[in-house]
A and B are shown apart, each in its own frame.
Chain A
Amino acid sequence: MNDENPILVLFESLLKTDAEKRILELIINEKSKEEIIEDFLKIKEK
Chain B
Amino acid sequence: MISYDYRIERLDKGRKSEIFVPGKLPKKIDNITYIEGPNSSGKSTLLNLIALAFFGHRNEEIVNALRKKMIHLLNSQRNRLTFKIEINDKNNNLALLAEKDNPEKNEVSLFDYVNGKKERLSLESFEKKYNLIYDIPQNPTERIKLLTQEIKEIQRRYGDIISDLKDYIRHILREIESSRDPNKIKKLKNSLKDYKKNHNELQRDLKHNKELLEKLERATYCKYYLKYKEENSKNYNQLISMQSKSKLEKVRKTRGSKEFDQFNRGLLKELKYLKELQENILSSFYSLPKKELDILSIFQKINLDEVTEFLEFPKNLNAIMNKIEKKCVELIDDSKKEDYYQKAMFYKELITVLERYNSLKIDVPGTAKSINDLIGDLKKELNENEYLLRYIENTKKLMELIKSFSQVKQSIEVHYLPDLKELRKENKNNNETITYQKISLLQEKHKETKEKKDLYYERYMKIGEPDPKKVLKLGDGILNKYLNFSEEELLSEISKINSDISRINEEITTCNLKKDLTTNELNILENQKPHKYTKYQEKLNKLFEVTEELTSKLKNEFNKNIEYLEDSNINPEEINENQKKYNWAVFRYLGKRIEFYRHIKDYYEVDYINLIDEVLVTKNGKKIYFSEMGTGQSQSAYLLGKLNTSDNRIIIALFDEVAMMDDQSLKPLFDKCRELYNNGKLLVGIIVQKANKIKIESKIKD
Contact = CB atoms under 8 A, between A and B. Distances in A.
Contacts of B8: none
B179 interface: no
B407 interface: no
Contacts of B585: 9-11, 13-14
Nearest to B165: A33
Contacts, number: 79
B168 A33 contact: yes
B648 interface: yes
B539 A41 contact: yes
B165 to A, nearest CB: 5
Contacts of B582: 14
B648 A7 contact: no
A7 B646 contact: yes
A40 B162 CA distance: 14
A29 B169 contact: no
A14 B158 contact: no
Contact of A24 (B533, B543, B550, B588): B550
Contacts of B553: 14-15, 20
A14 B648 contact: no
A8 B646 contact: yes
A7 B589 contact: yes
B623 interface: no
A13 B168 contact: no
Of A11, A15, A20, A29, the most chain B CB neighbours within 10 A belong to A11
Nearest to B558: A14
A20 B581 contact: no
Contacts of A15: 550, 553
B647 interface: yes
Contacts of B172: 37
B303 to A, nearest CB: 95
B379 interface: no
B165 A36 contact: yes
Interface string A8-32: 1111011101011001100111100
Nearest to B550: A20
B546 A5 contact: no
Contacts of B547: 23
A24 to B, nearest CB: 7
B536 interface: yes
Contacts of B647: 7, 28, 30
Contacts of B586: 10
Contacts of A7: 151, 154, 589, 646-647
Nearest to B590: A6
Nearest to A13: B585
Interface in B518-569: 533, 536, 539-540, 542-543, 546-547, 549-550, 553, 558
B158 A20 contact: no
Given A19-B546, A28-B646, A41-B539, A10 B158 contact: no
B584 A13 contact: yes
Interface string B642-658: 00101110000000000
Given A19-B543, A23-B547, A41-B533, A10 B589 contact: yes
Contacts of A20: 546, 549-550, 553
10 contacts: A6-B592, A7-B151, A10-B589, A13-B584, A13-B588, A14-B585, A20-B549, A27-B158, A37-B168, A40-B543
Interface of A: 5-11, 13-15, 17, 19-20, 23-24, 27-30, 33, 36-37, 40-41
Interface of B: 151, 154, 158, 161-162, 164-165, 168-169, 172, 533, 536, 539-540, 542-543, 546-547, 549-550, 553, 558, 581-582, 584-586, 588-589, 592-593, 644, 646-648
Given A23-B543, A27-B161, A33-B168, 8 more contacts: A10-B151, A14-B585, A19-B546, A28-B646, A28-B647, A30-B647, A40-B539, A41-B543
